[in-house]
Amino acid sequence: MIRMSLRQFRLSALAGAVLLTLATVYLLRLGGATHAARLPADHHQTMLFLAGGSGLVPAFIGAFWGAPLIARELETGTHRLVWNQSVPRRRWLAVKLAVVGLASMAAAGLLSAALTWAATPVDQATGDRFSTVMFGARGIAPIGYAAFGFVLGAVTGLLLRRTLATMALVFLAVIAVQVAVPNLLRPHYLPPERATVAMTADAINRARMLGGITGGPIIGGLEMPDAWITSTSRLRTADGRVLSDAAFDTCFSHAPQTGATGTFGDIAVCLGRLDLHVDLAYQPNRRFWPFQWIELALYLGAAALLVAVGRWRIRRGTFS
Amino acid sequence: MHTLRAERLTKRYRRRAALVDCDLAVPSGHIVGLVGPNGAGKSTLLQLACGLIAPTSGTLEVLGARPAAGAAHLGRVGFVAQDTPVYPSFSVADHLRMGAWLNPAWDAALAERRIAEVGLDPAQKAGRLSGGQRAQLALTIAAAKRPELLIFDEPAAALDPLARDAFLRSLVGFVGELGASAVLSSHLLGDVEQVCDYLIVLGAGRVQVAGPVRQLLADHRYTTLEQLVLAYMSGAVAR
């Protein structure tokens, strides 16, 4: 059954191998450049772009390696041929999932290793590898994403029995999960540490965002050395209350002119005089590897659950 | 031992009952013809027999065990599905290799000899075979694992008369060579008359009659199989 799975996987494996080789060659050349660079932080934009791209890898694996694996057999009726050889259906499923699943994890692992290596000087310069975007493009977590994306594709195909519909659905679903997990789950893997930071004019000017769409006293994109900030309170006054919208708006729209420079200029000066602070929740950077392991375990666990669904379905389903 | 043995076998799809309370005991050593109008439950019975679907209630035993009861039992039953599915991107030789990989009892010599006899090119992609060639390939794969029972679901329905005749002759040849039993569903009474010595007539999800062809003809004083089957089918319709 292993040889059969390999034979059926041959063409898509070849396509995957070509893309993987191209990507690896590119990353090795990039790594040469970053390791030789005098200012590795100059490559930060490239790293952001690559992190976004590597987020698509599990979606492609799910859509192109996972989705057709079983859906195509059911769609073309070849399950009626292969299930009547001397291999029970559950073993057939187990071997198919194992062969292509391991290939998916190996491919993702190789890509991640190359990207992690290429990014090392940049990460050291910027201290950014624990951030929401970068974390998933480093270390071992991508192996979990690949396993999950692949199994999601294969099992959805078993349930839907339509190759194209499964491909489209799985591609979108994997991306949705990749957006949801870093924002909703990852901040809570371990209890965050908390800190109160005074919002002086200087501190405010280091933020990337000030004021919400609705005009509230919101500040965003603060940075903290050696930590990933997972939540930021609104601007608070010395007595701990949230700064009133009116007071915030006064500074935001009618700040007295002082000729100050900096990102937010007079606004920052005006707010800085109000003795404000924010409460932060953050994960210190030393938790990077524990978080990598937790994330890997989470995605592998989800993949294992999906495999159980597939085993149950293939035993109980009606496949005429 | 029985080829097929059913007790109160019932299969319902959401609302429709495909088979209702079927009792059957088909002794081994026969080529069994399963006939009946479209929708009578022929395909359902054969898919139950190879374990593709599970009964709603009642029991069905194939060669004395639950259908598809494990690797060993799967090896004892060869199944050729309706429309004879094959892998379009696999060559004929790839299919034989697949048979060898997936069946411990695979008879490579038998498979290669038969492929040569029916004039199939081993290098030909299965997606480019004609309907008749594809049916021959599917038959060879099912037979070369040396099963004790071969099951055919409307194998020749889509073939032209020449291909159908060649296919049926291959079928009889394999059954003789393997010493196997066979069950074959068809709505073409001519096919059944040509190769079968045991008959099951299904109508409206029930077994209308079952028995050795010669005995059924003698009992009912019909001279041809066609008269016999038509009598039972019209009886089923009237009921």
Q: Is the pLDDT score of B4 beyond 50?
A: yes
Residue labelled with tokens 């009946």 = B36
Average pLDDT over residues B1-22: 92
Res A171: pLDDT? 98
**What is the count of structural domains for chain B?**
1
Residue B237: what pLDDT? 46
> Ramachandran region of residue A244, left (φ > 0), alpha (ψ -120 to 50) or beta?
beta
Distance, in Å, from the CA atom of A86 to the CA atom of A102, rounded to the nearest integer, reads 24
Chain A contact probe: residue of B89, B102, B153 with most A CBs at under 10 A:
B102
Given a cut of 80, whether residue A170 has pLDDT beyond it is: yes
Out of B50, B102, B141, the one facing A4 most closely (by C-beta) is: B102
Are B187 and B193 in contact, with CB atoms under 8 Å apart?
no
Q: What is the model's pLDDT at position B103? A: 96
pLDDT digits (tens, 9 = 90+) for A268-279: 999 999 999 999
For A79-136, how does the pLDDT look when each residue is reduced to its tens digit (9 = 90+)?
Answer: 999 999 999 999 999 999 999 999 999 999 999 999 999 999 999 999 889 999 999 9
CB contact under 8 A, B53 and A320: yes
Distances (CA, A) of A245 to A196, A205, A234, A279, B118: 21, 20, 11, 18, 87
CA angle B55, B39, B5 (to 5 degrees): 40
DSSP letter for A62, please: I
Q: Read off the pLDDT band of B9 (50, 70, 90).
A: very high
- A84/B71 CB distance under 8 A: no
pLDDT at A221 over 70: yes
Query: If pLDDT is split at 50, 70 and 90, which confidence band does B230 have?
Result: confident
pLDDT for the residue numbered A214: 73
Find the DSSP H helices in A194-287. 201-206, 245-254, 265-272
| Torsion A316-A320-B5-B6 (CA) sign | positive
- Whether the CB of A315 is below 8 Å from some CB of chain B: the reply is no
Determine the pLDDT at residue B236: 53
pLDDT category at B122 given cuts 50, 70, 90 is very high
For residue A282, list its beta bridge partners. Answer: A193, A229
Q: Pick A88's closest partner by Cβ from B52, B71, B98.
A: B71
Question: B48 in helix, strand or coil?
Answer: helix
Given an 8 Å threshold on Cβ–Cβ distance, is B79 in contact with A80? yes
pLDDT of A165 > 80? The answer is: yes
Tell me, what's the pLDDT at B238? 45
Q: Is the CB of B52 less than 8 angstroms away from the CB of A320? A: yes
Residue B71 pLDDT > 70: yes
CATH number at residue B152: 3.40.50.300
The answer, yes or no, to whether residue B202 has pLDDT greater than 80, is yes
Residue in B53, B78, B81 closest to A318 by CB: B53
Q: What is the pLDDT of residues A171-217, one digit of tens each?
A: 999 999 999 999 999 999 999 999 999 999 999 999 988 887 777 89
> Could you give the CA distance from residue A85 to residue B102 in angstroms, rounded to a whole number?
6
pLDDT band at B72 (very low <50, low <70, confident <90, very high): very high
Residues 124-183 in A contacting B (C-alpha not used; CB under 8 Å)? none
| pLDDT tens-digit series, residues A139-162 | 999 999 999 999 999 999 999 999
What is the domain range of residue B20? 2-238
Q: Give the closest-approach CA distance of B100 to chain A in angstroms.
A: 10
Interchain CB distance below 8 Å, B85 and A11: no
Q: Compute the C-alpha angle A25/A30/A36, nearest 5°.
A: 130
Tens of pLDDT, residues B35-62? 988 888 999 999 999 999 999 999 999 9
Work out the pLDDT band at A294, boundaries 50, 70, 90: very high
Task: Tally helices (H) and strands (E) across chain A.
Answer: 11, 5
**Does residue A89 sit at the B interface (CB-CB below 8 Å)?**
yes
Return the residue in B45, B101, B125, B154 with the most chain A beta carbons within 10 A, the one to mutate for interface testing: B101
What is the average pLDDT value for chain A, to the nearest integer? 94
The tens digit of pLDDT for each residue in A223-244 reads 888 999 999 999 999 998 999 9
- Which of residues A212 and A12 earns the better pLDDT score? A12
List, as own/partner pairs, every contact residues B20-25 make where C-beta atoms lie below 8 angstroms and the sequence separation is at least 24, other chains included: B20/B205, B20/B206, B21/B58, B21/B206, B22/B58, B22/B205, B22/B206, B22/B207, B23/B207, B24/B200, B24/B207, B24/B210
- For residue B188, the model assigns a pLDDT of 83
Q: At CA B2, angle to CA B1 and CA B4, rounded to 5?
A: 155
| Cross-chain residue pair B85–A83, CB shorter than 8 Å | no
Q: Is the ipTM of this complex over 0.90?
A: yes
Domain residue limits, chain A = 2-188, 193-284
Contact (Cβ atoms closer than 8 angstroms) between residue A276 and residue A121? no
Residue B102 has pLDDT above 60, yes or no: yes
Q: What is the pTM of this model?
A: 0.92
**A71 to chain B nearest CA, in Å?**
14
A14 close contact with B: CB closer than 8 A: no
pLDDT score recorded for residue B239:
42
pLDDT in tens, B123-135: 999 999 999 999 9
Whether residues A86 and B79 touch (CB distance < 8 A) is answered with no
